[in-house]
């Protein structure tokens, strides 16, 4: 029963993270195309817009703020694996469970609580770019801070659940993906 519930939670969160990650990935291509266009327009045609420069910066922010959870799911956040890679699967699962509970969750929840007013103030005044001709969506850009906290918390919960299952089953191969 408990196991079933865990598996359901994991697969639901995984699906969500996977989809956002795949979507976000296209922004990297958009960044490349846009920055190339900026260079060509500026050097070739003496044209330039602040809004265009800023949009690359916005995409950049989205890529790493929203991609962090996706990277966690893929176990892409670098670890010091001097000892970790020698640990047994059970020990590794324990590291991930305790790290998730005592590092990831407190950090994400704190970021969310501390940043909430900061972001809401920006929404209240519909904050715009400080540059003339810049993008008027600073409040959306600042919201990435809360979104990072939320998406990383979600995926963090999924990882904790996944590693609890690993403790029980003791067989890492039965659950695909995620932190190993």
Partner 1 sequence: KDQATASISAQPVKTFQWKLVTSWPKNFPGLGLGPEKFAQYVNEMSAGRLTIKVYGAGELVPGFEVFDAISQGTVQMGHSGAYYWKGKMPAAPIFSAIPFGMTATEFNAWLHYGGGLALWQELYKPFGVVPMAGGNSGAQFAGWFKKEINSIDDLKGLKMRIPGLGGEVLKRAGAIPVTLTGGEIFSSLQSGAIDASEWVGPYNDLAFGFYQAADYYYSSVWHETGTNLEFIINEKALNELPKDLQKIVEVAAKAVNEDMLDEYNARNNQALQTLINQHQVQVREFPKDVLVALKGYTQEVIAEQVAADPTFAKIWQSYSEFLQSMRQYNDLTLKAYFENR
Partner 2 sequence: MEYLALLMFVVVCGVLLLGYPVALTLAGTALLFAGVGSVFGIFEPSFLNALPSRIYGVINNQTLLAVPLFVFMGAMLERSKIAENLLNAMSILLGRFRGGLGISVTLVGMLLAASTGIVGATVVTMGLLSLPTMLKRGYNPQFSTGIICATGTLGQIIPPSIALVLLGDVLSSAYQKAQLQMGLFNPETVSVGDLFAGAVIPGLVLVALYTTYCLLYAMFKPEQVPSLTQADINQIQQGRSKLSLMFSALVPPLLLILVVLGAILLGFATPTEAAGVGAMGATLLALYQGALSRENLTAVMDSTVKITAMVFLILIGASLFSLVFRGFGGEELVQGFFHQMPGGVIGATLVVMLVIFLLGFILDFIEITFVVVPIVAPILLAMGLDPIWLGIMIAINLQTSFLTPPFGFALFYLRGVADKSVKTSSIYRGVVPFIIIQLLLLLALAQWPRLVTWLPEMIYG
Give the footprint of partner 2 on this chain (CB under 8 A): 21-22, 24-26, 28-29, 31-36, 38-39, 43, 56-57, 60-61, 63-65, 67-68, 70-72, 74, 76-85, 87, 92, 95-96, 98-99, 102-104, 106-107, 110-111, 114-115, 118-119, 141-142, 144-145, 148
Tokens 């890492």 correspond to what residue?
172
| Calpha distance 140→72 (Å, rounded) | 23
Going from the C-alpha of 146 to that of each of 85, 87, 142, the distances in angstroms are 33, 34, 8
Helix (H) or strand (E) holding 95: helix 89-99
Of residues 47 and 103, the one with the C-beta less far from partner 1: 47
Closest CA to 141 of 59, 22, 45, 29: 59
Phi, psi of 43, rounded to the nearest 5 degrees: -85, -35
Residue 130's binding partner out of partner 1, partner 2, none, with CB under 5 to 8 Å set by partner kind: partner 1
| Calpha distance 104→106 (Å, rounded) | 6
Contact 65, 145 (CB under 8 A): yes
Of residues 46 and 173, the one with the C-beta less far from partner 1: 46
Of residues 3 and 19, the one with the C-beta less far from partner 2: 19
Q: Please report how close the Cβ of residue 8 comes to partner 2 at its closest, in angstroms.
A: 25
Q: Does 44 participate in binding partner 1 (rule CB under 8 A)?
A: no
Report the site for partner 1 in 110-149 (rule: CB under 8 A): 117-118, 121, 125, 127-134, 138
Q: Please report how close the Cβ of residue 169 comes to partner 2 at its closest, in angstroms.
A: 21
Contact 123, 60 (CB under 8 A): no
Residue 128's binding partner out of partner 2, partner 1, none, with CB under 5 to 8 Å set by partner kind: partner 1
């Amino acid at each position: 029963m408990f196991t079933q519930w865990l598996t359901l939670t994991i697969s639901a969160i995984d699906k969500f993270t996977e989809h956002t990650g795949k979507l976000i990935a296209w922004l990297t291509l958009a960044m490349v195309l846009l920055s190339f266009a900026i260079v060509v327009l500026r050097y070739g045609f003496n044209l330039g817009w602040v809004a265009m420069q800023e949009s690359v910066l916005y995409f950049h922010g989205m890529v790493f703020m929203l991609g962090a959870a996706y990277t966690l799911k893929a176990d892409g956040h670098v670890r010091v694996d001097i000892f970790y890679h020698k640990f047994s699967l059970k020990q590794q699962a324990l590291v991930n469970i305790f790290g998730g509970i005592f590092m990831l969750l407190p950090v994400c929840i704190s970021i969310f609580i501390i940043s909430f007013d900061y972001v809401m103030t920006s929404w209240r005044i519909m904050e715009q770019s400080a540059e003339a001709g810049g993008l008027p969506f600073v409040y959306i850009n600042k919201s990435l801070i809360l979104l990072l906290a939320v998406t990383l918390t979600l995926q963090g919960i999924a990882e904790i659940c996944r590693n609890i299952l690993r403790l029980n089953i003791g067989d890492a191969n039965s659950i695909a993906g995620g932190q190993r």
